[in-house]
Amino acid sequence: MTEHLNDFNKIEEKWRNYWEKEKVYSFDPKSKKKIYSVDTPPPTVSGRMHIGHACSYSQQDFIIRYKRMRGYNIFYPFGADNNGVATERLIEKEEHVRSRDMSREAFIKLCLNYLKKELPLFIQDWKNIGISCDWEMGYSTINEHSRKISQWSFIDLYKKNRVYRKDAPAMWCPECQTGISQVEAQDKEIETTFNDIVFKADGRDLIIATTRPELLPACVAVFYHPSDSRYKKLKGKKAKVPLFNFEVPIMEDPRVDKEKGTGIVMCCTFGDQTDMEWQKAYNLPIKEAISQEGRMTELAGKYKGTTIKDARKTIIEDLKKSGLLKKQEKIVHTVNVHERCGVEIEFVKSRQWFVKYLDLKKQMIEWGRKLNWYPQFMEVRYDNWIKGLQWDWLISRQRYFGIPFPVWYCKRCGEVILADEKDLPVDPLIDKPNKQCKCGCKDFIAEADVLDTWFTSSMSPIIATKLLDEENEKKAFPMDLRPQAHEIISFWLFNTVVKSNLHFKKNPWKDVVISGYVTLQGEKMSKSKGNIINPQEVIEKYGADAIRYWAASSKLGEDFDYQEKDVITGKRFVTKLMNATNFIFTNLKGYKPKKAQLIETDRMFLVILNELISKCTDAFEKYEYSRAKSEADTFFWNVFCDNYLEIVKNRVYNGTKEEKESAFYTLYTSLFTILKLMAPFTPFVTEEIYQKYFKDNEKSKSIHISEWPEKMKIEKKKSDEEIYNLLLSVIGRVRQEKSLAKKSMNSKIRLVIDKKEKEMLRKIMNDLKAVTNAVEIKEGKFKVGFV
Q: Which is nearer to Zn ion, 437 or 512 (CB)?
A: 437
Binding pattern for the stretch 621-660 against Zn ion, x by CB under 5 A and - elsewhere: ----------------------------------------
CB of 173 to Zn ion, least distance (A): 3
| 437 near Zn ion (CB under 5 A) | yes
Choose which of 106, 429, 430, 439 interacts with Zn ion (CB under 5 A). 439
CA distance 201 to 206: 6
Q: Which is nearer to Zn ion, 342 or 780 (CB)?
A: 342
Please give the single-letter amino acid code of residue 57. Answer: Y
| 175 near Zn ion (CB under 5 A) | yes
Q: Which is nearer to Zn ion, 173 or 208 (CB)?
A: 173
Q: Which is nearer to Zn ion, 173 or 250 (CB)?
A: 173
Question: With contact defined as beta carbons under 8 Å apart, do 52 and 517 qualify?
Answer: yes
CA distance 78 to 80: 7
- Alpha carbons within 13 angstroms on the beta-carbon side of residue 777 total 22
| 445 near Zn ion (CB under 5 A) | no
CB of 395 to Zn ion, least distance (A): 16
Question: With contact defined as beta carbons under 8 Å apart, do 621 and 63 qualify?
Answer: no
CB of 166 to Zn ion, least distance (A): 20
Q: Which is nearer to Zn ion, 65 or 338 (CB)?
A: 338
- Residues 281-340 interacting with Zn ion (rule: CB under 5 A): 338, 340
| 149 near Zn ion (CB under 5 A) | no
CA distance 128 to 126: 5
Question: With contact defined as beta carbons under 8 Å apart, do 62 and 504 qualify?
Answer: no
Enumerate residues 6+ apart whose C-beta is below 8 A from 676. Answer: 69, 686, 703, 706, 708, 709
Q: Which part of the chain contacts Zn ion (CB under 5 A), choosing from 11-19, 204-212, 439-447, 650-658?
A: 439-447
Alpha helices in 719-773 (DSSP H): 720-740, 755-760, 765-772
Q: Which is nearer to Zn ion, 172 or 542 (CB)?
A: 172
CA end-to-end span of the chain, whole Å? 34
CB of 178 to Zn ion, least distance (A): 7
CB of 306 to Zn ion, least distance (A): 20
Q: Which part of the chain contacts Zn ion (CB under 5 A), choosing from 100-108, 431-439, 477-485, 676-684?
A: 431-439
- What string of DSSP letters covers 31-81? --SPEEEB-----BSSSS--HHHHHHHHHHHHHHHHHHHTT-EEE-EEEEB
CA distance 553 to 576: 18
CB of 340 to Zn ion, least distance (A): 5
CA distance 747 to 785: 10
Question: With contact defined as beta carbons under 8 Å apart, do 704 and 24 qualify?
Answer: yes
Q: Which is nearer to Zn ion, 142 or 410 (CB)?
A: 410
Choose which of 315, 325, 410, 613 interacts with Zn ion (CB under 5 A). 410
CB of 299 to Zn ion, least distance (A): 24
Check residue 18 and report its DSSP letter. H
Burial class of residue 415, CB neighbours in 10 A (0-12, 13-18, 19+): middle
CB of 428 to Zn ion, least distance (A): 16
Please give the single-letter amino acid code of residue 447. Answer: E
Q: Which is nearer to Zn ion, 248 or 410 (CB)?
A: 410
Q: Which is nearer to Zn ion, 86 or 441 (CB)?
A: 441
Check residue 401 and report its DSSP letter. S
| 778 near Zn ion (CB under 5 A) | no
Enumerate residues 6+ apart whose C-beta is below 8 A from 259. Answer: none
Burial class of residue 693, CB neighbours in 10 A (0-12, 13-18, 19+): buried
- Residues 53-92 interacting with Zn ion (rule: CB under 5 A): none
- Please provide the size of the chain in residues: 787
Q: Which is nearer to Zn ion, 342 or 732 (CB)?
A: 342
Q: Which part of the chain contacts Zn ion (CB under 5 A), choosing from 136-144, 412-420, 503-511, 567-575?
A: 412-420
CA distance 142 to 400: 12
How many residues interact with Zn ion (rule CB under 5 A)? Answer: 13
Q: Which is nearer to Zn ion, 119 or 416 (CB)?
A: 416
| 448 near Zn ion (CB under 5 A) | no
CB of 443 to Zn ion, least distance (A): 9
| 413 near Zn ion (CB under 5 A) | yes
Q: Which is nearer to Zn ion, 413 or 712 (CB)?
A: 413
Strands across the sheet with 774-779, in order? 774-779, 749-753, 783-786
Please give the single-letter amino acid code of residue 73. Answer: N
- Residues 712-741 interacting with Zn ion (rule: CB under 5 A): none
| 170 near Zn ion (CB under 5 A) | no
Q: Which part of the chain contacts Zn ion (CB under 5 A), choosing from 142-150, 165-173, 447-455, 536-544?
A: 165-173
Binding pattern for the stretch 333-372 against Zn ion, x by CB under 5 A and - elsewhere: -----x-xx-------------------------------
Please give the single-letter amino acid code of residue 23. Answer: K
Q: Which is nearer to Zn ion, 55 or 345 (CB)?
A: 345
3-state DSSP assignment of residue 752: strand
Choose which of 441, 568, 641, 760 interacts with Zn ion (CB under 5 A). 441
CB of 342 to Zn ion, least distance (A): 8
| 176 near Zn ion (CB under 5 A) | yes
Choose which of 310, 415, 487, 642 interacts with Zn ion (CB under 5 A). 415
- What string of DSSP letters covers 571-632? HHHHHHHHHHHHHHHHHSTT---------HHHHHHHHHHHHHHHHHHHHHHTT-HHHHHHHH
Question: With contact defined as beta carbons under 8 Å apart, do 143 and 358 qualify?
Answer: no
Q: Which is nearer to Zn ion, 165 or 356 (CB)?
A: 165
Which residues are at the interface with Zn ion (CB under 5 A)? 173, 175-176, 338, 340-341, 410, 412-413, 415, 437, 439, 441
